[in-house]
Amino acid sequence: MQMLSNNIYLIEGPNYGQYPYSNFLYIDDRIQTLVDTGWGNESLNSLGAREIDLIINSHFHLDHRGNNHAFPDARVWAHRLDAPAMRSKDTFVDYVGSFSKEDVGTSHIDESPVHQEFEDNDLICLGEVELQVIHTPGHTPGHCSFFWKDEGILYGGDIDLSKNGPFYGTMASNIDSFISSIKKLKNLNPRIYVSAHKGLITEDIPACLDKYLNHIYEREARILDSLAIPRNLEELTMQKIIARSFGEPEEVNYKLEMYGIIHHLERLMKSGQIIRDGDYYVEARPQGF
């Protein structure tokens, strides 16, 4: 565990918290708290036998709350929009996309109770530490970041500032929301940024957030370039513009890419930059050319 301030500790997941593991926070305060619980028993080794009163989850994905079951006496809190996908496997599958059930099955999906739902800007007082809920949707509808203003510590969750991100390859993801959320975090001007998959960022945080945001615009520009000639969804997906390569299981990664492309196409159609003709999409050209 790495101390970030008097009360807040970073717990680094195995393999530097890279997926399917993650990094999360332990808060040693009047209310003993975990902000996310990670995935896999070994993630909890450094915590020892500490009793946990409260779990605050950033979102419903298993790499962030797969260990909730290890604390059966703790209360679990999550945002109103992600809580249903924690409580129910079926809603989990609805949020991710039905392929997740067909290709991977649902046996690994652990349901978790959510005892209380929070909203944007709620203040969670743990004793000395007071966390502000920052609703940062896009990755998932109810994704939240948590800010302790006094110390300038921000837990950004899966706004993870990784070179492969942002990730919006599921049914319930939304690129416009993701863009707004990145800007929202930049405005908080944190001193310490905790990324769930990249660890601590303490330097050039606004520039890191800008670079991460630009990944979205770069992908979009490449999709638009590609649509100088008409292409269908499958052709665009196979160009691997978002993921660059499909690791195993390939069919799942193909579908995650496909959802990401669909979200980009919706955005480009809304802004009038492309048009759809049957199964094909093509760049919109000014009339008369």
Please say whether the beta carbons of 74 and 53 come within 8 A: yes
CB of 32 to Zn ion, least distance (A): 23
Q: C-beta of 158: minimal distance to Zn ion in Å?
A: 4
- Buried (b) or exposed (e) across 82-111, using 16+ Cβ within 10 A? bbbbbbeeebbbbbbbebbbeeeeeeebee
User: Dihedral sign, CA of 181, 248, 60, 55?
Assistant: negative
By beta-carbon proximity to Zn ion, the closer residue of 137 and 190 is 137
Stretch that binds Zn ion, among 54-62, 101-109, 233-241, 270-278 (CB under 5 A): 54-62
Query: Which of 61, 231 has the CB closer to Zn ion?
Result: 61
Residue facing Zn ion at closest CB distance: 61
Rounded to the nearest whole angstrom, what is the least distance from the CB of residue 224 to Zn ion in the complex?
27
Asked if residue 82 binds Zn ion (CB under 5 A), the reply is: no
Contact status: 63 vs Zn ion (CB under 5 A): yes
Q: Collapse the DSSP code of 157 into the 3-class scheme (helix H, G, I; strand E, B; otherwise coil) and give the result.
A: strand
In whole angstroms, how close is the CB of 226 to Zn ion at the nearest point?
27
**Among positions 29, 34, 55, 61, the unique one binding Zn ion when judged by CB under 5 A:** 61
Question: Which residues fall within 8 angstroms of residue 3, CB to CB, at 6 or more apart?
Answer: 9
Q: Does 65 bind Zn ion (CB under 5 A)?
A: no
Tell me if 12 contacts Zn ion by CB under 5 A: no
The window from 44-52, 53-61, 147-155, 226-234 that contacts Zn ion (CB under 5 A) reads 53-61
**What would you measure as the largest C-alpha separation in the chain, in angstroms?**
72
Judged by CB under 5 A, which stretch of 10-18, 56-64, 146-154, 252-260 contacts Zn ion?
56-64
Closest approach of Zn ion to the CB of residue 235, in Å? 28
Length of the chain: 289
Cβ-contact 268, 223 below 8 angstroms: yes
Which residues in 232-247 are b (16+ Cβ under 10 Å) and which e? Answer: eeeebbeeebbbeebe
φ/ψ of residue 274, rounded to 5: -135, 160
Query: CB-wise, 12 or 158, nearer to Zn ion?
Result: 158
User: Which range, of 28-36, 59-67, 75-83, 111-119, touches Zn ion by CB under 5 A?
Assistant: 59-67
Closest CB 19 distance from Zn ion, rounded Å = 6
Smallest gap from residue 84 Cβ to Zn ion (A): 16
Give the distance, in angstroms, between the CA of residue 193 and the centroid of all CA atoms in the same chain.
Answer: 15
Nearer to Zn ion, 26 or 168 (CB): 168
Residues 47 and 11: beta-carbon distance below 8 Å: yes
Minimum CB–partner distance for residue 269 and Zn ion (Å): 26
Give the rounded distance of the alpha carbon of 170 from its chain centre: 11
Number of residues that bind Zn ion (CB under 5 A): 3
How far is it, in rounded angstroms, from Cα 73 to Cα 93? 27
Contact between 158 and Zn ion by CB under 5 A: the answer reads yes
Show contacts with Zn ion in window 17-46 (CB under 5 A).
none
Which DSSP helix (H) or strand (E) runs through 205? helix 205-226
Interface with Zn ion (CB under 5 A): 61, 63, 158
